[in-house]
Amino acid sequence: MINDFYDILNTLGYHHPFHPTEVHMPIGLVVGALILALVALIFRRDRLLLTPRYLIILAFLWVFPTMLLGIMDWQHFYGGAFILPFKVKLITAPILTVLLGLAVFLGRRYGSTSMKVLPVYFLCFCAVVVLGYFGGQLTYSGRTISGPEKYMTGQKIFSAYCTTCHPGGGNTLAPDKPLLHSPLLKNQEFFNMWIRHPASPMPAFPPEKISDAQARDLYDYISHVIMGK
């Protein structure tokens, strides 16, 4: 069912993860709520405290579809691999949800001007900083090595499915077994067999996720661009 959703997106020309388009909403709302609450308390503008309360309510509502899309992206693009950034995000996101719910509850019970709400806003801010940091690790620590135009298709496939665990030809799960110069790349046939039936914790990439033609493009990119860097 998840793959069907992404297949529909692919037919519409959208080939990227969906979670990053939504994650900035709760993060921005939480940051804005904390800043406005501090400004209101420092300058004694009690009426301004209504705004951060509304921002927190919006963040609480938006965090649910954001988490759902994050789990879907994780399953589709990363095969549910339990690498460190995902472990941290899977723990921190529910904590943030609980904190947002607590902030909404305290704001309703004690009022927007209560000092009891501000520490929870700060904890929400800390949670989104952690989520943003490890989300950034997924995005930037695995920057894909660029190659000639003829390897661009393989580069896109590598960027979508491989670069998080194998940034620059390395291996974040097993640093002593880098992709670079791996015996698993000795020929196309062996490479195809490996990606279809890999050893744990690497997720499998069946033909419906990476076709045989795409596997050839991916192998060519790894062999000529990453191995030749």
What is the per-residue pLDDT across 29-83, written as a single tens digit (0 to 9) for each?
A: 999 999 999 998 888 887 787 899 999 999 999 999 999 999 998 887 776 777 7
Compare 61 and 112 and report the one with higher pLDDT. 61
Average pLDDT over residues 202-208: 85
- Select from 122, 140, 158 the last residue of a domain: 140
One domain, residues 82 and 165: no
One domain, residues 100 and 153: no
One domain, residues 216 and 165: yes
One domain, residues 187 and 84: no
Q: In Å, how far are 14, 157, 163 from 160, measured between CA atoms? A: 12, 5, 7
One domain, residues 83 and 30: yes
- Select from 107, 140, 173 the last residue of a domain: 140
One domain, residues 120 and 215: no
Contact in structure between 132 and 27 (CB atoms under 8 Å): yes
Which tokens go with 221? 């990119």
Average pLDDT over residues 110-117: 72
**CATH number of the structural domain spanning residue 160:** 1.10.760.10
Dist CA 229 CA 103 (whole Å) = 50
Q: In Å, how far are 43, 63, 173 from 92, measured between CA atoms? A: 32, 12, 21
One domain, residues 136 and 156: no
One domain, residues 81 and 114: yes
Domain count, the chain: 2
Q: Give pLDDT, residue 142.
A: 54
- Select from 121, 140, 159 the last residue of a domain: 140
Q: Give pLDDT, residue 172.
A: 74
What is the per-residue pLDDT across 146-192, written as a single tens digit (0 to 9) for each?
A: 788 899 999 888 888 888 788 778 887 777 788 877 888 889 998 99
Q: How confident is the model at residue 91 (pLDDT cuts 50, 70, 90)?
A: very high
Residue 200 gets the label, from left (phi > 0), alpha (psi -120 to 50) or beta, of beta
- pTM (two decimals): 0.71
The beta-strand segments (E) located in 39-118 are none
One domain, residues 105 and 180: no
One domain, residues 16 and 95: yes
Q: Give pLDDT, residue 14.
A: 78
Q: How confident is the model at residue 140 (pLDDT cuts 50, 70, 90)?
A: low
One domain, residues 172 and 68: no
The region of weakest confidence among 14-18, 39-43, 101-105 is 14-18
One domain, residues 119 and 40: yes
Give residue 8's domain range.
Answer: 2-140
* Helix orientation angle between 118-140 and 19-42, rounded to the nearest 10 degrees: 150
Which amino acid, residue 194? W
